């Protein structure tokens, strides 16, 4: 069952962890470089919440998902409204090579080389 309180509590914990880790790194605590990778991982897990906000699932009230989704778009550098349209179009046309925006004009990779190029984003930027 969706719950605004549970969703906001989870969000506060995640943001608190980011703030604590960021402060520790920023103030140069002992062995602070060890936290860089975990901090990056925790930061990128904000995308998971952003993704769920596109579906309006993390909170009981959809408007809270909208507010949180837009707020998360700033550190993720991923405009929330654009991502919502892109992602929902992907769900509507999943694996349709002409209309799924994740694969339109670009077939799924079938070799390790193609997969690494796919992960790099090179084909997206070069039009290949």
Phi-psi region of 107 (alpha: psi -120 to 50; beta: other; left: phi over 0): beta
How many whole angstroms from its chain centre is CA 53?
Answer: 10
Q: What is the pLDDT of residue 100?
A: 86
Q: Give residue 62's pLDDT.
A: 95
CB atoms within 10 A of CB 20: 12
What residue ranges of the chain have pLDDT lower than 50?
none
Q: Residue 99: its pLDDT value, please? A: 86
pLDDT of residue 92: 93
Domain ranges of the chain: 4-92, 97-128
| pLDDT tens digits, one per residue of 86-120 | 899 999 998 888 888 887 766 677 889 888 877 77
């Amino acid at each position: 069952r969706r719950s605004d309180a549970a969703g906001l509590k989870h969000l506060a914990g995640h943001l608190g962890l980011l703030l604590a880790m960021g402060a520790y790194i920023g103030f140069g605590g002992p062995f602070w470089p060890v936290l860089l990778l975990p901090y990056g991982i925790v930061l990128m897990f904000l995308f998971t919440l952003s993704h769920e906000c596109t579906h309006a699932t993390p909170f009981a009230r959809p408007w809270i998902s909208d507010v949180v989704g837009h707020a998360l778009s700033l550190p993720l550098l991923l405009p929330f409204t654009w991502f919502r349209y892109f992602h929902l179009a992907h769900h509507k046309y999943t694996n349709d090579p002409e209309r799924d925006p994740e694969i339109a004009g670009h077939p799924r990779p079938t070799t390790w080389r193609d997969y690494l190029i796919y992960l790099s984003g090179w084909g997206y930027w070069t039009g290949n």
